[in-house]
Structure 1
Amino acid sequence: MSHSQPPFERVAVIIEDDPDIRSLLTELFEQGGFETHSAANGLDGVELVRRFAPVVTTLDVSMPGIDGFEAARRIRAFSDTHLIMLTALGDEADTLTGLQSGADDYLVKPFRPRELRARVDAVLRRRERERRSDASAAVGDGVPDARANEEQTGGAGTVAQGTDPGRPTAGWLEHRGLRLHPEMHLAAVDGGELELTRSEFELLRALMAGGRRVRSKSELALALRGDEYHASDYVSDADRRAVEVHLANLRRKLGESATSPVWIETVRGVGYRLTAAG
């Protein structure tokens, strides 16, 4: 993932072939204090992301040349920009394919400017939290790296006998060989680093912090927005479906089965939680 951009520089890339929507998006971002760069096709858009390392990128699905799904896959190969996919009204298949291609979020056309601002504000809150965490980690001298932590705990991901799943050890959340460090934005399983999107990382962080407590899809949807503690906020069925897709992607990267989970189990009709400690 690219980390060339200074923390919290407000840069946005807009990839949209409709000139009216492109103009609207540009105006909305610039009203929010963003430097904007726009492209009318996927190939040019990918290059803009590579060149300017934006905090957030909006990506249309239907474009000339490569479509939004392929553009998302190419962007994800080198960038951790927050990808917001723009999909056609009522086309759930586009939404799911976009999330599976690496998008973090989506908006259905025609979208409300206020809704886009809310999504972008959530991205900025998350980035600010990461910036503060990075600053804290930089001045602290007591946070070990993953290998040092293995020595302390007796092997990759070994949790001390009798501890709760997800209990932090020297800054790490650990469960059955799965490790996550929120401040350093690192995740690993059995000693190997996991390449996760920001949404997948936030989802895993929320689950590991919760341990055996069941987290509902609505709670997790709010966590992905950065609004974990605003439980009164509205969560749509589409938001909950997005959680399901992100979780499926996370499980695929972990190499675990939903029917025989090692780390994350489904509580039917309620939500998700960590499995019992082995």
Structure 2
Amino acid sequence: MVVEDEASLAVLISSYLERDGFEVAITGDGHDALDLARQFDPDIVVLDLGLPGLDGVEVCRQLRTFSDAYVVMLTARAEEIDTVIGLSVGADDYQTKPFSPRELMARIQAMMRRPRARAAVSPGADPSEGSRQREVRAIGGLSIDIDAREVAVDDAPVSLTRTEFDVLAALSKDPGFVLSRAQLIAAVWGPSWVSDEHLVDVHIGHLRRKLGDDATLGRYVRTVRGVGYRMGTGQRGTAQ
């Protein structure tokens, strides 16, 4: 779904998406975008920040209440605050105007290569049809169900965006190892992803907030200064 009030740009983005085999819906209105998303159930939403009326930030905020679509925010303003605001309401990535449609498509293609939630195997299903033991990672009070893409802290469910979950999954794969920002980008966004590494810090900040994790203690996500991030021990009161 392309949500962009500049008609010529919306058509251009749509043409590139259709060329890659996507079915595309276009709107230039924020209210219509929410109605359309409920009907269309998109996998990807290309969302302009500066929409008239209901702006892109509010559209994204409301979209996140019923959709787990990947969201790429488009903004004509390069200030850091715009990026932080856009990502804080659940956008997965951002693109500053003017931009190359090919670069936008490369980001979208990288997103679509990322895994989605797997359907659970029903009781009595044929084991030959994909039944296997589920992978659940436990770190202190933090539980990460990799197959169901579900997270809980002290048995309380935590709602994460796809990108936040993927960051957490990458860190928890080898809890004792430090991952640099470049390594996290390669693991989550893909090796072909092109942008500044600040995006990682923003998503880490949102992830910590949702997990109730104090950055100065690093109970679950610990900063290794000058290097990157790794998982904490899950214990309360642990110094960073």
Same structural fold, with TM-score higher than 0.5 when normalized by the shorter chain = yes
| Residues 277 and 263 of structure 1, relative CA distance in 2, 3 Å threshold | closer
| Residues 274 and 64 of structure 1, relative CA distance in 2, 3 Å threshold | same
Aligned to 1:83: 71
Give the TM-score taking structure 2 as reference length. Answer: 0.89
Do the aligned partners of 1:174 and 1:208 also contact (CA within 8 Å) in 2? no
Task: Using the aligned pairs only, state the percent identity.
Answer: 40
Deviation at 1:277, TM superposition (A): 6.0
Deviation at 1:135, TM superposition (A): 7.3
Q: What is the DSSP-based 3-state SS (H/G/I as helix, E as strand, rest coil) of the residue aligned with 1:179? A: strand
Aligned to 2:162: 198
Which of these residues, 52, 57, 72, is aligned with residue 64 of structure 1?
52
Give the TM-score taking structure 1 as reference length. Answer: 0.77
Q: What is the DSSP-based 3-state SS (H/G/I as helix, E as strand, rest coil) of the residue aligned with 1:86? A: strand
* Partners of 1:45 and 1:88 in 2: CA distance: 20
Do the aligned partners of 2:60 and 2:89 also contact (CA within 8 Å) in 1? yes
The one-letter code of the counterpart of 2:2 is I
Aligned to 1:20: 8
The one-letter code of the counterpart of 2:217 is S
Aligned to 2:102: 114
The one-character-per-residue Cα deviations of 1:146-191 (angstroms, maximum 9, x if unpaired) are: xxxxxxxxxxxxxxxxxxxxxxxx5111101111122211111111
Deviation at 1:261, TM superposition (A): 2.0
1:52 has 2:40 as partner: yes
Deviation at 1:221, TM superposition (A): 1.7
Deviation at 1:276, TM superposition (A): 3.3
| Residues 255 and 223 of structure 1, relative CA distance in 2, 3 Å threshold | same
Which of these residues, 104, 124, 132, is aligned with residue 92 of structure 2?
104
Alignment length (residue pairs): 230
Deviation at 1:210, TM superposition (A): 2.2
Which of these residues, 132, 142, 150, is aligned with residue 178 of structure 1?
142
Deviation at 1:142, TM superposition (A): 5.3
1:123 has 2:111 as partner: yes
1:218 has 2:204 as partner: no
Aligned to 1:256: 213
* Partners of 1:19 and 1:208 in 2: CA distance: 43
| Residues 189 and 140 of structure 1, relative CA distance in 2, 3 Å threshold | farther
Q: What is the DSSP-based 3-state SS (H/G/I as helix, E as strand, rest coil) of the residue aligned with 2:71? A: strand
Q: Describe how 1:211-250 pairs up with structure 2 within 5 A.
A: 211-225=175-189, 227=190, 230=191, 233=192, 235-236=194-195, 238=196, 240-250=197-207
* Partners of 1:78 and 1:102 in 2: CA distance: 12
Q: What is the DSSP-based 3-state SS (H/G/I as helix, E as strand, rest coil) of the residue aligned with 1:49? A: helix
Cα RMSD (Å) of the superposition?
2.0
Deviation at 1:224, TM superposition (A): 2.4
Do the aligned partners of 1:212 and 1:276 also contact (CA within 8 Å) in 2? no
The one-character-per-residue Cα deviations of 1:40-84 (angstroms, maximum 9, x if unpaired) are: 111111111111110000100111111110111000011000000
Which of these residues, 216, 219, 229, is aligned with residue 272 of structure 1?
229
* Unmatched tracts of structure 1, length 5 or more: 1-12, 144-169
* Partners of 1:134 and 1:111 in 2: CA distance: 37
Q: Which runs of 4+ in 1 moved over 4 A?
A: 135-142
| Residues 134 and 84 of structure 1, relative CA distance in 2, 3 Å threshold | same
Q: What is the DSSP-based 3-state SS (H/G/I as helix, E as strand, rest coil) of the residue aligned with 1:261? A: coil
Deviation at 1:91, TM superposition (A): 2.5
The one-letter code of the counterpart of 1:48 is L
Structure with a larger share of its residues in helix: 1
The one-letter code of the counterpart of 1:117 is M
* Unmatched tracts of structure 2, length 5 or more: 236-240
Deviation at 1:130, TM superposition (A): 3.0
